[in-house]
Structure 1
Amino acid sequence: MKKIIFFLIAILAITGCSRTSSYIYEIKSSSPTVKSTSPRFSFDKSHLVDGDTKTSWQIRTAKGGVGEWLELKLKEPMDISEIVISNGFQLKDPEFGDLYFLNSRLRKVSICGDDTKCADFNIIDTKENIHLAVNFKKVMDIKIVIKDIYTGSRWPQDLAVGEIKLVKEKSVVEILLSVLAIAGVLAGLVFFIKSYMKKS
């Protein structure tokens, strides 16, 4: 019984917890990454998909990133139902303080799938995850164009983005596997509780 439960949990993890980094083979941007003068900070593009909201990708331009773009190239065609963005540099530094407000953040973006289907999104200024609903079918490329920013109080020319997550639209098979896995885990818990109550 335990082996069955572990197997079902594994199915649930595989179907529901894939990281965005596993979908992407290249990240491109129109401007080079900011080179930090401090060894404590790195602003590489890889931070966009490292699963850590306390790291960030940053660029520096005269307009604070307005007009620049970011491109995620996928390993294979994918159906994307949602893009989740963690805005700004969400780190409280002992020297500089709250870096979220000191750097510029996304305010308005245009997101395109394969440079064909595009949509504009207004982004609220929050440290919470921002969920943007899209309907991209069999795309190989996601392009985010920066239309407007919230200006940073100390480094207005530096635009920071913490994390970008692509939410893959699940197939019918994946949905069924998830449902079966959840049902199996619940059944296992019920069995365990009943067995425990009988022993006690």
Structure 2
Amino acid sequence: MHYGSGKYCRWEGSIPDGFEALTSYFVTDYDPTIEDSYTKQCVIDERAARLDILDTAGQEEFGAMREQYMRTGEGFLLVFSVTDRGSFEEIYKFQRQILRVKDRDEFPMILVGNKADLDHQRQVTQEEGQQLARQLKVTYMEASAKIRLNVDQAFHELVRVIRKFQEQECPPSPEPTRKEKDKKGCHCVIF
């Protein structure tokens, strides 16, 4: 089974949004010698996918590299903390930057409101998250690494959105050869 290659990264606002915890619950392989990078091989809708996640959150030295990550990415998780309005307000800017770098009006993205278990500390309502998602024309979901709410689902949904986008961009040719089937994979960047 071929998993293809992928490249993922993400950044955040000034207050942690819990993305590292979200990622660490999703992935199984972690190599701290390569910044904060994670790898996950899984089967989504009976198709193999390899997810490589590079977490540059809070590391200013990676700021200049963001646009390079954006250029190579095939999909993005836009993560904010529901307990931090500032991280929520930065999402629109990040989404616009991705579209500018990609020179597109639309691109595969999922908006994730993390720390959904901290309802008593909530600064961003679910309705506000849904409204922003409609404005950005993306799917919205809330997650919590602490109680494992929608952790796998967020990553899996991103892969589905990427696949749908790729199929619309390049409809499959009639019955690919076995060699072509083995080369298919999912390559994306997560912010």
TM beyond 0.5: no
| Structure with the largest fraction of strand | 1
Q: Which has the higher contact order (CA 8 A, sep 6+)?
A: 2
Q: Larger C-alpha radius of gyration, 1 or 2?
A: 1
TM-score by length of 1: 0.29
| Structure with the largest fraction of helix | 2
TM-score by length of 2: 0.29
